[in-house]
Amino acid sequence: MVNAPLFNLLSVIAEAQTFKDWVPLMYRSQILYETSHFRKLGEFCIKAPWPYWNRSVYIAVSAMPVKGENSIIVTMKSMEGDTWLGDKLVLKDTAKCTECDVHYCSAYIETIAPDK
């Protein structure tokens, strides 16, 4: 439960490049490509304690408002290979990080009250 309007919550989530400023252990968060407010590719890296390598993940995120409801569906999945949407080349930083996978993560976010 988040005590904020849906728009405020989604505004914070959409600013993925700021995650490194307020998520512990995250040292890189950037949006690599953005085709719209609802479709983005991001890179996120966290520091792992020794003897582990740092971890990185390249996540493709899509969101879609639900027609007739005050809600949205968000889906996330790791990028496969080194291209996104068939033509956008991504140069992955695998020398300093171990790449992780996110397999089909999704969320249904709805307003249950004007401020919740």
The pTM (predicted TM-score) of the whole model is 0.82
pLDDT digits (tens, 9 = 90+) for 52-108: 889 999 999 999 999 988 899 999 999 888 888 887 778 776 667 888 888 889 999
Q: How confident is the model at residue 2 (pLDDT cuts 50, 70, 90)?
A: confident
Q: Which residues contact 69 (CB under 8 A, 6 or more apart)?
A: 110
Say if strands 71-78 and 39-46 run parallel, antiparallel, or are unpaired.
Answer: unpaired
Query: Per residue in 23-51, pLDDT tens?
Result: 999 999 999 999 988 899 999 999 999 89
